[in-house]
Amino acid sequence: MKVKLVSESFLIRGTFTISRGSRTHANVVVVELQQGEYIGRGECVPYARYGESIESVLAELETLVAKIESGLTREQMQSLLPAGAARNALDCAYWDLACKQQGQRIWERIPVAQPISLTTAFTLSLDKPERMKKAAIDNAHRPLLKLKLAGEGDIARVTAVREGSPKARIIVDANEGWDEALYIEIVPELVKLGVEMIEQPFPADNDAALEHLPRPITLCADESCHDRTSLPKIIGRYDMINIKLDKTGGLTEALELKKAAQQANLQIMVGCMLATSLAMAPAFVIAQGVDVVDLDGPLLLAEDRESPFTFTESLMHVCDAELWG
């Protein structure tokens, strides 16, 4: 086995802004595992919110290179890295390599039903209401819009988007930007505007208030949900979880988290960091049959990988084996 670790950067269409800041590039880490003629790949996005950087993720992975090249298995690796971006890229590379060696698609190996095309949400970047309205008009043909919010001015932002795209379903992502007073003020207005889901209204370490606040709109845990160990605190506070492979630490744990969440009667969203089609491919497998799909990363990029996902507007089609799995 040979291991290759690289960092890459992909240009975003315009600027992507959330409550924590703006970006013009998607910066990713890719793991390649080569055994003979076969190469498996996995991609991750280091996220500063979780104390990660390109450098820290590469350093984490470097600690295992010798063990991987000496025969470390995917199953053995799970306990050697924490849930997070580094383990995700390595875990997905193991899965991809196994698929290529055995001549199987990923759904045959897990196994699950052969996947079908999925409709993904399309994200509108945080901005002034008038600019978000323009973005909503430009994307009014899309069936599901996800709005990045920040706190102050959010009612005006959602109102503007609803005016610009009156027929679209709308979900919103506060990215931990609200407090209890704002929640009480804003939620009734969002009900009137037809918002179907609110993602992570409060900071992950300060969301206990959700146990006693009304939930007329579905609440989804993002930063509060990483892997199966997150579930005990989520039940009673949220109605839905957002599964992201960069949080679960790969496809292996994501499969188990999905199963556990379903057993707990939680709704499921499958989301992504801002990344290429390579990162979307394993998430696409997890996203089969869930309540909300948010895998629009490639649609937000000005450039993508070879053999990328094909989209018909917001409809995401099954990827080729050349990409992953």
Residues noted as catalytic: 148, 244
Q: Using CA atoms, how far apart are residues 203 and 37, in angstroms rounded to an integer?
A: 46
Question: Do 253 and 259 contact (CB within 8 A), yes or no?
Answer: no
HSE (CB half, 13 Å, CA atoms) of 63?
A: 11
Please provide the DSSP assignment of 75-92 as one string: HHHTTTS-SSHHHHHHHH
Partners of 197 in beta bridges: 171, 218
Q: Using CA atoms, how far apart are residues 27 and 8, in angstroms rounded to an integer?
A: 6
Please provide the DSSP assignment of 123-164 as one string: EEPS--HHHHHHHHHHTTTSSEEEEE--STTHHHHHHHHHHH
**How many Å separate Cα 112 from the centre of its chain?**
20
Please provide the DSSP assignment of 226-288 as one string: -SGGGHHHHBTTBSEEEE-HHHHTSHHHHHHHHHHHHHTT-EEEE---S--HHHHHHHHHHTT
Contacts with 103 (C-beta within 8 Å, 6 or more apart), sequence order? none
Torsion of CA 32, 252, 112, 291, to 10 degrees: -110
For the chain, give the number of residues.
325
HSE (CB half, 13 Å, CA atoms) of 124?
A: 33
